[in-house]
Each structure stands twice: as C-alpha cells, then as structure tokens.
Copies of this chain bind each other. A is one copy, B any other.
Amino acid sequence: MAEPRSRRRGSELESAILDAAWAELGEVGYGRFTIEAVAARAGTSKPVIYRRWTGRAELALAAWGRRVPVEPIAPDTGALRDDLIALFTWTAKRVNSVMTEIVAGVMGEAFRHPEVAEILRSRLTGPSPLTEAVGAVVARAVARGELEPLTLPHRAARAPLDLVRNESMTCGVPTSDETITELVDDIYLPLLRGLATPTGPGAEGSTVPRDVS
C-alpha cells in the first residue's frame, strides 16, 4: 500500500482509528485485540496510535465510549413487573454484546493502570439513562399504587445494571430470559417492596412520594 488516499489528520484520523478499533473489538474481541491490527485496519501505523493512547485498554475504552450514547429506554407497560422485565432485558442486550468482554479485559489490566480503572469505574457506576429509567419506572408504580412511596438510593437504582453485568461477567454467556426472570422476581421486586416498607431508614436517595402528577 503506497498511501493511496491523502493523509488524514486530527479528529478525522482519530475517528477512523476508533472506528477501526470498534470493528476489531466486534470481530476478534478484546482478547485478541491488538494495536497492530487496529493500525492496519485504519490504514495507519502504530506510532500514530501510541501518540494518542497509552495502550490496548485506553484505546478499547475510547472506542467503546463513542458508542455509549444509545437510544434511551422508557418501558411503560402499566405493570411494575413487566416494566422491570423490559428494563432488565434491555440492559442484558446492551451488556451482552461486546461490552462484557471489554470490561473484563480492561479490568484485567486496570490493576496496573489506575487511571484506566478510574475511567471504567466512573462509566459503570455513575448516573446513566438506565438509572433514570429505573427511577421513572418505580415512580410510575408508586403513582399507580403498586408500591408504597419509597426512597430509592442510588445503589438500588444501579442494582439492575450491576446484577446483569455480574451475571454476564461471571457466566461468560448471554443472559437468558430465565435468569432475567429470576433477577426480577427473586431480587429486584423483593428489594423494591422492602424499600417501600415503613421499617426502612430512608436517609439518602431521591424520595418518590405517592403524588407524582
């Protein structure tokens, strides 16, 4: 290849590299994700990549990062359980694709690169469209009278993603519908009911009063 097209620079080049990285991740997975292959696919060379990212982990996270802003989710079936099933299913679909392998692979390296771990941590635990959707679903259930008014701590709002991710990571297999049902029926619905009982302390999180009009 004697450099057929003109040289790309700046963000154009960066986009091409990240697109190539994402394609590589999709094809060979993080396990065989190599800088060399990305460079070849992007039609550039290793130094160009190393000038921008420190290694595999950062590059993979960057490639993943551009794909994160996805379609929002807002199930509204009229029944709490159905909403939750939809929510968990949606989460599982998103988690199961490439993400799990990336997360696991990156984590394996994150112990040596604290800054990478930090990027990953903030991305996994912060507020997200999903936590918002959880809040909305719960609020609607409360409004319908399906749940007593409750306080939803951030941790509880995160829980669906945490549960699904944990499942996906430890099983290495796409999460089945049966598993989702279990997570909803055995864990999350009881958790919500427990949060809604008057016994709870309820010091933190966003209160969801009955009157949500």
Contact = CB atoms under 8 A, between A and B. Distances in A.
A201 B1 CA distance: 65
Interface stretch (A11-19, A45-53, A70-78, A181-189): A181-189
Given A121-B170, A170-B125, A190 B194 contact: yes
Interface of A: 29-32, 101, 103-105, 107-112, 114, 117, 120-121, 124-125, 153, 155-156, 159, 162-163, 165-166, 169-173, 182-183, 185-187, 189-195, 197, 199-201, 204-205
Given A169-B169, A194-B189, A194-B192, A104 B108 contact: yes
A206 to B, nearest CB: 13
A159 B183 CA distance: 10
Which of the listed residues A117, A124, A193 has the most CB atoms from chain B within 10 Å of its own CB? Answer: A193
A185 B166 contact: no
Contacts of A191: 187, 190-191, 194
